[in-house]
Amino acid sequence: MFHRRFTGLSTANPADERFPGTLQFCDSAIAGQGRRRVRLSWPAPSRKLEVKPMLRLSANLSWLFTEVPFLERFGEAARAGFRGVEFAFAYDVPERAIADRLAEHRLQCVLINAPPGDYAAGERGIAALPGREEEFVASFATALRYAAALGCPRIHVMAGLVPEVARRSESRATFISNLRHACEAARAQGVSVLIEALNPRDVPNYLFSTVSEAHAIREAVGAPNIKAQMDFYHTQVVEGDLATKAERWLPDIAHIQIAGTPGRHEPDIGEINYAWLLRRVEELGYGGWVGCEYRPLTTTAAGLSWRDRLVPLRPIA
């Protein structure tokens, strides 16, 4: 049996570096045969394991990289490692200019919002506002034109604010009717229409604020391309129980968004355990994008280290 230690994976001989996976020499003693030197081989180590995120992260350019003008944010997102981007409203920018930036930086546009009405005046969508149906039809046609130019497969339609409780039933019916029109118009283009529950602390008087209300509306619309957008930040503020809700509704969730709660900063700041939650979403089989829709605590770049800690990794085959 061996009675002296191995000399290690390499020796002082430069030629030995050509065999990094070889045990070079050792002394041996076999009963009755004296001492001799033998060369032992050891399997060469495999190549370094490459990994990639299990979930696809999308940078929301309405919230991230706002240190630079809108069109410059695409390059910033690409240099930060994102391959998908989304944004709320960019209808003041020609769609061709946005498409050029996507192509230049090899980015996918995964989500846009339909025009929200008069955002500066406080409107947050018009799809649920009775009497503005024609305006909605025209605005959604604009959204479809942008989606076609950008290769974007999802459009989020905002319902709007309904402060009068007595009008909520009428507004809900208007919303459902307008969504049916939107889904029919979007179907030929291969686009899904998304709706999202918004919390009343950030968006008071929005038509609906719970996940169950969003899915009740989705079911009432009844179109195959009507889907839900689940923002874990909004859901946590209103009702919590995020994993259970994600599991229940996953087949009808086409997009997820994340932010820390309560401050809506980076996902590693606050009460949501995203390391566990994102892993659970992956285990459930979610194959869509996860939008990073948060307000950086300082600068966008300074806060991106959360991705290394919270997003599960898997080997690249």
β-pairing verdict for 192-195 and 108-113: unpaired
Confidence of residue 28 (pLDDT cuts 50, 70, 90): very low
Could you tell me what percent of the chain has a pLDDT over 90? 79
Q: Could you state, in order of their start, the residue ranges of all structural domains in the chain?
A: 1-45, 51-315
Tens-digit pLDDT profile for residues 41-95? 434 444 454 545 568 999 999 999 999 999 999 999 999 999 999 999 999 999 9
Q: What is the pTM of this model?
A: 0.82
109 pLDDT more than 60: yes
27 pLDDT more than 60: no
Q: What is the DSSP string of 76-128?
A: HHHHTT--EEEES--TTS-HHHHHHHHHHTT-EEEEEEPP-S-GGGT--BSTT
> What is the mean pLDDT of the segment spanning 4-26?
38
Least confident of 46-50, 211-215, 286-290: 46-50
Average pLDDT for the chain: 87
Looking at residue 13, what DSSP letter applies?
A: -
**Residues with a known catalytic role:** 196, 293
Confidence of residue 166 (pLDDT cuts 50, 70, 90): confident
Phi, psi of 305 (to 5 degrees): -65, -15
Q: pLDDT at position 25, please?
A: 39
> What is the mean pLDDT of the segment spanning 204-230?
97
Contact 256, 245 (CB under 8 A): no
Q: pLDDT at position 34, please?
A: 52
Q: pLDDT at position 12, please?
A: 39
Q: pLDDT at position 314, please?
A: 54
CA 174 to chain centre: 30
- 165 vs 61, which has greater pLDDT? 61
Nearest to 136 by CA among 181, 99, 93: 181
129 pLDDT more than 50: yes
- 178 vs 30, which has greater pLDDT? 178
13 pLDDT more than 90: no
Q: pLDDT at position 3, please?
A: 38
> What is the mean pLDDT of the segment spanning 306-314?
78
How many CB atoms sit inside 10 A of residue 208's CB? 22
Q: 51-315 belongs to which homologous superfamily?
A: Divalent-metal-dependent TIM barrel enzymes (3.20.20.150)
